[in-house]
Amino acid sequence: MLNLPSNPKVMLKQAANLYTEENLNWVDRTVEKVIAWRKWDASPDEVRPVIEQSGARFIPKQIVSEGGGAYSFPVFDPLGYLSLAQLRFVHPVGESQTRYVLIGNQSEHLGPRWFGLDPGTLERLTLTRTVLIVEGPFDVLACRIILGADIPVLCPLGKKLYDDHVRDLQCLGVVKILAMFDSDEAGASAKLPSIPTRRGHKQDVERTILRCPGKDPSDCLKDLKTAKLLYREVHRAVTATAPLLGPGEPSTP
């Protein structure tokens, strides 16, 4: 049985205190872990701001003994309240070989679950009115490293974008939703939900599914060529003024 702190704030505070006692900078430590995990040839100065803004942390095995430690991805609601966090263990745990665990009080969380909806991204989202949706938290970090800070990137912490997610984006004023799912069978058949409109308040929302040049967006960190392909694919879609696409129609090359 997993013995984990139920409060994500407590876990992050414990991690910070531990690294302070060891005279280590826990953000730098997280950067090292992310770079090592993906063998990405990037300097810490390029990666550190991405980690700091997202709130992603590496929680060492002194705190999370199961699985040799875990990556922690905070889940903020639109009001900036941290009530949940998703853990991704370094090594699978238990008979079911669990990789991901959600901790926190789900009843206190307002709205759909997002990783990446930190205050800085929320501000850019309302300004650009454009968002890139990916499947997992490492995909968010990878896309932010490759694309820079101009394009907001979120993930719904799962393989599907639900109506609640779309309504949430619509309330934030988003008019262009781009999605880049994994290139496996599930990702290839993925569709975006239809966009609901209120009576008398019609708002066109462009919906485009992009083809991932790698196995998944985080896989694109493995080499510069694939990273550039992802960069071009996303920026081409951001600047395009294509007609409104149907829920399951991918973009054309």
Residues 128-161 have pLDDT tens digits of: 999 999 999 989 988 998 888 889 999 988 777 8
- Report the predicted TM-score, pTM, of the whole model to 2 decimal places: 0.81
Domains of the chain with CATH codes: 8-108 (3.90.980), 119-239 (3.40.1360.10)
Q: Give pLDDT, residue 143.
A: 92
Q: What is the DSSP letter of 181?
A: -
- Phi then psi for residue 232, to 5 deg, are -65, -40
Q: Give pLDDT, residue 59.
A: 83
Stretch 1-14: mean pLDDT: 70
Q: Give pLDDT, residue 234.
A: 95
Nearest-angstrom CA–CA distance, 85 and 6: 9
Q: Give pLDDT, residue 71.
A: 86
Residues 67-123 have pLDDT tens digits of: 888 888 888 877 767 788 888 888 888 888 888 888 888 887 878 888 998 888 888
Q: Give pLDDT, residue 204.
A: 64
